[in-house]
Amino acid sequence: MFRPEDGARRARAMATMCTALGIAAMIVAPLARTAMATGPVAPTPAAPASVPAMSAAVASAGEQPAARARVPEAPAWVEAEALAGKAFVYPPKAETAAPRPVTVMLHGMCGHPQSACAPFVDVSTSRGWLVCPKAEDACGGGTRWRLHGPDDGQLVEASVRAVVRGHEGEVDASAPRVIVGFSLGGIAAVQIVEGSSNRYAGLVVVASQVHPDPAALKKAGVKRVVLAAGDLDMTSAPLQQDARLLDAQGVSTRFVSLGKYGHGYPPDMEEKMREPMRWVAGGG
């Protein structure tokens, strides 16, 4: 369960990391790195239509209400009713009759949903939907998570509900999700998971000082955890220690080295995270 003192402790840890690394280093992989991802990642349209708008267009074309909504051909923004938020959403690679599960990705400080999600698109959309919420508070050229109170969790839930509304019958909202967080987004991800109940089965934290509570994770229903960082990142050693502690306490956990790299995504981030992402989702 989220406790205010936990948020304060983690926020102080992140502030220390910001000072050491510089705010610029905390920005999630620059937008230029979006080209690093392959498969369904496409250049963002100048004015992308929202997922609900796409569904409305299908209905206006004469499709019967009971018919299954068409999966959009490209990723799109959705508007979340809570906190006037929004999320960038990547649909599953292939249209199937069965509803598909959700992966949530939280960007880092002053980050952007598209660039943060880029290395995770191919593997996540092989499984289902990838939902990349945009944090609420302006920060440099991007946004940042609030960490204190329920706002971050409410924004994530509102984003998932928006996808469900726009694609009735295509999203398995009841299936345990995977949540991924980079840097400051990692702290937000851990707080969201620890304050939930059987909503997330998999947790992935990249380059963040988090120290997850094994008892809280087990109570929340988390089955598998992946912690990852570059060898030159100051979070590497603490995350390796966290991985050993979690595993010893009965939470199946892996640490993934991102190679000789600092705070950010290495050029081969997609390949390094492909197998761990499949594993944390229960695929191996």
Under a CB-based contact definition with an 8 Å cutoff, are residues 113 and 134 in contact? yes
Instruction: Look at residue 24 in the predicted model and tell me its pLDDT.
Output: 39
Report residue 45's pLDDT band, with 50, 70 and 90 as the boundaries: very low
Separation in Å, CA 46 to CA 43, 49, 86: 9, 10, 16
> pLDDT per residue over 10-23, tens digit each?
555 554 444 344 43
Residue 272 has pLDDT above 50, yes or no: yes
> pLDDT per residue over 254-264, tens digit each?
999 999 999 99
Residue 222 has pLDDT above 50, yes or no: yes
Residue 163 has pLDDT above 50, yes or no: yes
Q: Give the pLDDT mean for 217-232.
A: 98
Residue 37 has pLDDT above 60, yes or no: no
Read out DSSP for 28-81? -S-GGGGGG--TT--PPPSSPPPHHHHHHHHHHTT--TTSPPPPPSS-EEEE-S
- In the chain, what are the domain boundaries? 4-27+85-280
Q: Give the pLDDT mean for 188-199.
A: 96
Q: Give the pLDDT mean for 47-75.
A: 41
- Ramachandran angles phi, psi of 13, nearest 5°: -65, -40
202 forms beta bridges with: 178, 224
- Ramachandran angles phi, psi of 273, nearest 5°: -100, -5
Report residue 196's pLDDT band, with 50, 70 and 90 as the boundaries: very high
Under a CB-based contact definition with an 8 Å cutoff, are residues 71 and 95 in contact? yes
Report residue 284's pLDDT band, with 50, 70 and 90 as the boundaries: low
Instruction: Look at residue 53 in the predicted model and tell me its pLDDT.
Output: 39
Residue 3 has pLDDT above 70, yes or no: no
Under a CB-based contact definition with an 8 Å cutoff, are residues 10 and 209 in contact? yes
Pick the CATH number of 4-27+85-280 from 3.30.930.10, 3.40.190.10, 3.40.50.1820, 3.30.70.100: 3.40.50.1820
Report residue 237's pLDDT band, with 50, 70 and 90 as the boundaries: very high
Helix (H, G, I), strand (E, B) or coil at 217: helix
Instruction: Look at residue 46 in the predicted model and tell me its pLDDT.
Output: 37
Under a CB-based contact definition with an 8 Å cutoff, are residues 156 and 133 in contact? yes
Instruction: Look at residue 179 in the predicted model and tell me its pLDDT.
Output: 98
Residue 129 has pLDDT above 90, yes or no: yes
Instruction: Look at residue 283 in the predicted model and tell me its pLDDT.
Output: 75
Instruction: Look at residue 63 in the predicted model and tell me its pLDDT.
Output: 35
pTM greater than 0.95 (yes/no): no
Question: Left (φ > 0), alpha (ψ -120 to 50) or beta: where does 42 sit?
Answer: beta
Interatomic CA distance for residues 111 and 278, integer angstroms: 25
80-94, 119-133, 178-192, 270-284: range with lowest mean pLDDT: 80-94
Under a CB-based contact definition with an 8 Å cutoff, are residues 104 and 177 in contact? yes
Give the number of C-alpha atoms closer than 13 A to the C-alpha of residue 4, restricted to the C-beta side: 1
Find, among 206, 203, 209, 204, the residue nearest to 261 by Cα.
206
Q: Which residues, at least 6 apart from 176, have a Cβ–Cβ distance to it below 8 Å?
A: 101, 198, 199, 200, 201, 202, 221, 223
Instruction: Look at residue 74 in the predicted model and tell me its pLDDT.
Output: 80
Summary mean pLDDT of the chain: 81
Residue 281 has pLDDT above 70, yes or no: yes
Under a CB-based contact definition with an 8 Å cutoff, are residues 74 and 48 in contact? yes
Residue 126 has pLDDT above 70, yes or no: yes
Q: Which residues, at least 6 apart from 54, have a Cβ–Cβ distance to it below 8 Å?
A: 70, 72, 76, 166
Q: Both tokens of residue 207?
A: 């380059």
